[in-house]
Each structure stands twice: as structure tokens, then as C-alpha cells.
Structure 1
């Protein structure tokens, strides 16, 4: 079992939506998505886990490693809607990872546009991402 992902980059915020199960078989694909994110966009990255069915210890470690990679690139990682079956506790020298209860809460925390239209939006996704999924 693996994951599907979609990355939306706005002018000062990125949203990486992940669906499926983030287990040992999906860690490489997730790391590839994070590599894509590191090279595109700017500002904080919200990892939206609304569509995630669950994660393993390896999946949680992949999240903390993503936070480290993004921090090295001058960006931060935040989580929205973590799976109900666990919490994320970064170990060692990993950067802190803010957790929001849901996607709307994460976006509200970064709301600086006051109703202005979003400029410069770009989106990339895996081919398995359903086209009818809500946009960021």
C-alpha cells in the first residue's frame, strides 16, 4: 500500500496533501514528494493528512525527517489533521512541528491575505490523485 500526494504552492505557503497509508512501503514516495516541495515554492509547508488512513512508526519518522529537510532549506513544516491512531513526537534534534486539528485551522493560522485572491498558485500531483479532490 502506498500514498498519493498533491502539492499546491502559493506565494508564501505550500500545502502537501497526502492520502493513503504512510507505512514502510510509502516512505520513499513521501520522501520524493518532500524533495519536490523543497525545490518549489517558499514559506511554511502544511502537510494535510486529512486523506491519510493511518501511518506507521516509519511513516512518522518520515514526517520528522521531512521537517529536518525543510528546515535545512529555510522552511518549516506543520501538520493538519493527523491520524487519530497516534501523535507525532519528534525525536532528537528535529525542529518542532506545529499540529493543527484540521486543514481549515492550519490555513487560518496563515491567513494574511484578508480575502485577497491568491496570486501565483501552482499545483503538482501524483497521477493517482483523484481529480475531484478539493483544491487547496
Structure 2
């Protein structure tokens, strides 16, 4: 089982949405999606987990590594709609304490934290992104 992804650009902010299960077999695809976000956006990346059915320890580790990768580029990672099985406590918990990751209850809350950044929006997705997500 793998994941599908969609990347949407807002001025000064990117949203990387995942659907499926982020297990060890999906880590390469996730890393590729993060690379896409790094190459095409600016500012923080909100990782929208609304469509994620769950994640393994390897998936959570990949998210930690993504936070470190983005921090190395001078960008932050924020999480929205974290699955209950993997919610970090205290608003952080990824990146071995090296990077603080903001956690939002849902995508709307994450976007509200970044309001007034402009109106332009662009979107890319993998071929099998579910239409109802």
C-alpha cells in the first residue's frame, strides 16, 4: 500500500496533502513529494494528513526527516489533522528535538494561522489522487 499526494501553493506557504497509509513502502514516494515541495514553494510546508488512514513508525520517522530537510532550507514543517495513533504531545515531537513542528487540529486551522498571504493558489497531484479527498 502506498500514498497519494497533492501539493498546493499559497503565497508564502505550501500545503502537501497525503492520502492512504504512510508506511515504510511509501517513504520513497513521500520523500519525492517533499522534494517537489522544496523545489517549488517558499515558506513553511503544512503537511495535511486529513486523508491519511494511518502511519507506521517508519512513516513518522520520514516526517521527522522531512522537518529536518525543510529546516535545512530555512523552511518549517507544520502538521494538520494528525492521525490519533501518531499525535505528538505538546505541539511538537518530531525531529528529535532539533526542530519544533507546529501541530494544527485540521487544515482550516493551519491555513487560518497564515491568513492574508495573498490569493494565488496552484496545485499538483499524483495520478491516483482520490477525487473525494
Name the residue aligned to 2:98: 94
Name the residue aligned to 2:59: 59
The correspondence of residues 38-117 of structure 1 with structure 2, limited to 5 A, is: 38-88=38-88, 89-113=93-117
Give the unaligned 5+ runs of structure 2: none
Name the residue aligned to 2:4: 4
Count of matched residue positions in the alignment of Structure 1 and Structure 2: 129
Give the unaligned 5+ runs of structure 1: none
* Runs of 4+ deviating beyond 6 Å: none
1:35 aligned counterpart, secondary structure: helix
1:100 offset after TM fit, Å? 0.4
> How much is the aligned-residue C-alpha RMSD, in angstroms?
1.4
CA deviation string 1:87-110 (max 9, x = no partner): 232253531111001111111111
Question: If the length of structure 1 is used for normalisation, what is the TM-score?
Answer: 0.89
1:131 offset after TM fit, Å? 3.7
Name the residue aligned to 2:25: 25
CA deviation string 1:37-88 (max 9, x = no partner): 0001111110000000000000000001001111111110000000011223
1:129 offset after TM fit, Å? 0.6
Check conservation: 2:60, 2:86, Cα contact below 8 A.
Answer: no
